[in-house]
Amino acid sequence: MNDVKWLAELDLRFLGPELDPKCKTAILKQDFSVQIREMIFLAPEGMITDGASIPRLFWRLIGSPFTGKYRRAAIIHEAAYQGKLELYTDKGAKISTRLDRLSSDGLFLVLMEADGASQVLSHTIYQAVRIAGRWSWTA
């Protein structure tokens, strides 16, 4: 999709065992953002993430939480689910509106496909978050 432009590299630092005994979470070391047409979606520096919430049972089939062509999309999606996703115009004006769950999941799908995830993979993950995401939605 030509309308999607990643504006920063994904820069994560995994939390050590003193903060996360299972070492499954990471922190954004800098703002991470993507532009779609005239809208910018930003996950803020300092956000804690577990990547894509893929049950370990499916890692061989789909991939692990911080790998794959869904990785960057998952960070933006998680920011939306945490209520931390910031929206801006391409002119830099902050938009106070938050995305609802359906829009957040739709954004996730668009970003996965823009990053080259196959339609089968992206739609499988999308359907999984539509079904299971209701228990993670905190925004």
Kindly provide the residue ranges of all beta strands, DSSP E only, lying in the chain, ordered along the sequence: 4-6, 12-14, 26-28, 32-36, 39-43, 48-49, 86-89, 94-95
Spans in the chain with pLDDT lower than 70:
1, 16-23, 139
Q: Say if pTM beats, i.e. exceeds, 0.85.
A: yes
Task: Tell me the domain boundaries of the chain.
Answer: 4-135
DSSP characters over 28-42 = ESS-EEEEETTEEEE
pLDDT tens digits, residue range 111-138? 999 999 999 999 999 998 898 877 777 7
What pLDDT score does 57 carry? 81
What pLDDT score does 19 carry? 63
What pLDDT score does 17 carry? 65
